[in-house]
Amino acid sequence: MATNGRNRRLEPAYKQHAAVDDKRGVILDVEVTTGELNEGQHIVEQVDRTAERTGTAVTTVTADAGYAYGKVYGAMEERNIHAVIPTRPSRSARRSHSVAFGRTPRTTS
């Protein structure tokens, strides 16, 4: 049985990427990938595939921060698609966020 660095059992992981027409509530495209692949690698191809299959121009794309990469924003801009994707917090913002929740750095004396 495979284990990770903490000696915990490893489980298979998958990600599901869906293109949905939210006006009609219809799923237009679904892609399932292994958990180790990055979301940003798939969204542009999925948007292009959806536009081709439906014969309709995609005008707006919404996604979570897992898709927030410059290449994704650039590809959407090239296609005149409005991308509604929140940016990722910076590392320093994540560190200060953990301090705000009561974690304080250890100091040695």
Domain ranges in the chain? 39-100
Q: Is the pTM of this model over 0.75?
A: no
For residues 25-42, one letter each, b for 16 or more C-beta atoms within 10 angstroms of the residue's C-beta and e for the rest, the string is eeebeeeeeeeeeebbeb
Q: How confident is the model at residue 37 (pLDDT cuts 50, 70, 90)?
A: confident
What is the spatial distance between Cα 63 and Cα 19, in angstroms, rounded to a whole number?
Answer: 10
Q: pLDDT tens-digit profile of 41-60? A: 889 999 999 999 999 999 99
Tell me what pLDDT residue 3 has.
55
Residues written for the chain: 109
